[in-house]
Chain A
Amino acid sequence: MISVFHLGQASNFPGKIALFIKKDLIQDFKLNEKSKIILITGTNGKSTTTGILANILKASGKKVIYNKSGANLLSGIITALCSGSNIFGHLKYDYIILEVDEATLPLLTSQIKPDLIAVTNFFRDQLDRFGELDTTVNLIKKGISNNKNTTLVLNADDVRAAFIDSENKKIFYGFSTNAAKGAFNNESNGNNLWQENPEEITTCPKCGSSLIFSNKFLAHLGDYKCSGCGLKRPEVNFLVSLFKTDSLSTYFDITFDGHKNNFFISLIGVFNLYNALCAITIAKTVSNTTNVQVQKGLQSYSTIFGRGEKIDLKNRPAWIYLIKNPTGTTEVLKTLTQIPNARFLIAINDDFADGRDVSWLWDAQFDILSSHKKEIYISGKRALDMALRLKYADINSSQIKVNENITSTITNASKSISQDETLFILPTYTALLEMQRKGLCKSII
Chain B
Amino acid sequence: MNNLTLELAYLYPKLLNIYGDRGNVLTLLFRCKARGINLNVSTIGLGDRLDHAKFDIYFIGGGQDQQQILVSNDLQTKKEGLVSAIENKTIFLTVCGGYQLLGKYYKTHDGTELKGIEALDLFTVAGSKRMIGNVLCKELESGKTLVGFENHSGKTYLAKSLTPLAKVLRGNGNNSEDGFEGVRYKNVFGTYLHGSLLPKNSHLADKIIRLALEKKGLQMPDLKVDDTFEMLAHKKAEQLSY
Contact = CB atoms under 8 A, between A and B. Distances in A.
B134 A356 contact: yes
Given A132-B64, A356-B132, A388 B199 contact: yes
A362 B17 CA distance: 10
The secondary-structure label for the interface of chain A is mixed
Contacts of A358: 149, 195
A415 to B, nearest CB: 24
A199 interface: yes
Contacts, number: 115
Contacts of B13: 193, 196-197
B147 to A, nearest CB: 10
Interface of A: 124, 127-128, 131-134, 192-193, 196-199, 202-203, 208-210, 350, 356-363, 382, 384-385, 387-389, 391-394, 397, 400, 402
B26 A134 contact: no
Given A131-B153, A199-B14, A397-B228, 7 more contacts: A210-B70, A357-B194, A358-B149, A359-B149, A360-B20, A385-B236, A392-B27
- Tell me the dominant secondary structure on chain B's binding face: mixed
Contact of A356 (B17, B23, B199, B242): B242
Given A193-B10, A193-B41, A387-B233, A202 B15 contact: yes
B136 interface: no
B67 A202 contact: yes
Contact of B41 (A128, A192, A387): A192
Interface of B: 10, 13-15, 17-23, 25-27, 30, 41, 43, 46, 64-67, 69-70, 130, 132-134, 149, 151, 153, 194-196, 199-200, 226, 228-230, 232-233, 236-237, 240, 242
B62 to A, nearest CB: 10
Contacts of A197: 13-14, 17, 22
A208 B66 contact: yes
A131 B130 contact: yes
A380 to B, nearest CB: 11
A210 B68 CA distance: 12
Nearest to B194: A359
Given A128-B151, A193-B26, A196-B43, A361 B66 contact: no
Contacts of A393: 26
21 contacts: A131-B130, A133-B64, A134-B66, A193-B10, A193-B13, A193-B22, A193-B26, A196-B17, A196-B43, A197-B22, A203-B15, A208-B70, A210-B70, A350-B240, A357-B149, A359-B20, A362-B21, A362-B199, A384-B232, A385-B200, A392-B199
A402 B132 CA distance: 28
A203 B229 CA distance: 38
Given A388-B200, A388-B230, A124 B14 contact: no
Nearest to B23: A362
